[in-house]
Amino acid sequence: MDTIAGAVIDNDIYNRRSDIWWSGEGFASLLEHVSNPWRVPYFQRVIAGEMKIAADAKRVLDVGCGGGVLAEAFAAMGFEVTGIDPSEKSIAAATDHAAGKGLTIDYRAGSGDQLPFSDESFGIVCCCDVLEHIRNWEDVISEVARVLKPGGVFLYDTINRTKMSKLVFIKLGQEWKYTRFLPPNMHAWDMFIKPDELKRSLERHGLRNIDIKGTMPGGNPLKMLIAMLQFNRGRISAAEFGKRVGGSIEGPNIDVNYMGYAIK
Ligand SMILES: C[S@@+](CC[C@H](N)C(=O)[O-])C[C@H]1O[C@@H](n2cnc3c(N)ncnc32)[C@H](O)[C@@H]1O
């Protein structure tokens, strides 16, 4: 548990159990069933479009890879993937899961603010659902910029700091007894990052932001609320929750989640 300027964040939640990522049941399974369906197709399109810039982008680094939910998607696209995360239990879970799928991914335990890789060694670096958990996230951006090749692509997603994100991720997601779908203190609202703050940091570190898209759940709000109530009670799995939310709509509304990319 870490207290940052009054904001309490618990990054130990990833170290308590190793079955949180792929069981299809708990909060971390939401990354596979709710987040991957919007971010993976977007990143595929970005890579296809920017491949002429990142022409030799064979190596992908996933910073804060957790249990490998995104790293596996890149490996399945044919990239040579390295994943790094400070949570040793998550790295163990990621390694086991990739082996079970016959995927070769180089997983390492380590922190995003001190990457154990040479300068300019990756054509693509991604960091998804991670920056908003880290006090010194600007040091992660600095490291990402260092290990990216010139012309390489940085792919990210994170959470905006707005009234709407407070409602969705803090009130409904963590605090309200009947709706919460995330562990207490998984997020701290003060640590969410406004798109302009991220863009300015990218620029300071030599990364030119090209695009930002918002992602909003596709289902209607009432259906979503019902899905939250049922997930909260253990009546539906993360996979079912993902289905009910109906896939997420990519668009200009960046009030809650947003994703984008920058070029070095
Ligand atoms: C919500 S999970 C996201 C996992 C993965 N990126 C995904 O989207 O499927 C947040 C991850 O950030 C990791 N994390 C926390 N502090 C970090 C740091 N200093 N450097 C890199 N990763 C960190 C956690 O261990 C956890 O695996």
Strands 59-63 and 122-128: parallel
CA 225 to ligand 1 center in whole angstroms = 27
State pLDDT tens for residues 16-54. Answer: 887 889 988 888 998 998 899 889 999 999 998 876 655
Q: Is residue 41 part of a domain?
A: yes
Query: In degrees, to the nearest 5, what angle opens at C-alpha 238 toward C-alphas 250 and 73?
Result: 60
Q: Is residue 171 part of a domain?
A: no
Average pLDDT, the chain: 91
Q: Give me the amino acid identity at 255.
A: D
State how far the Cα of 192 lies from the Cα of 245, in Å rounded to an integer: 23
State how far the Cα of 261 lies from the Cα of 3, in Å rounded to an integer: 30
Regarding the beta carbon of 253 and ligand 1, being less than 6 Å apart is answered no
Count of residues in the chain? 264
CATH of the domain at 77: 3.40.50.150
Can you read off the two tokens belonging to residue 87?
A: 């949570």
Residue whose CA lies nearest to ligand 1 atom number 23: 64
Regarding the beta carbon of 97 and ligand 1, being less than 6 Å apart is answered no
Q: What does DSSP assign to residue 204? A: H
Q: What's the domain range around 68?
A: 9-160+190-215+252-263
Strands 208-217 and 7-9: unpaired
Q: Is residue 238 part of a domain?
A: no
pLDDT top residue among 220 and 117: 117
Residue whose CA lies nearest to ligand 1 atom number 25: 87
Radius of gyration of the chain from Cα atoms? 17
State the pTM of this model: 0.94
Provide the 10 A C-beta neighbour count for residue 137: 21
Q: Is residue 231 part of a domain?
A: no
Domains: count for the chain: 1
State pLDDT tens for residues 211-228. Answer: 999 987 776 788 888 988
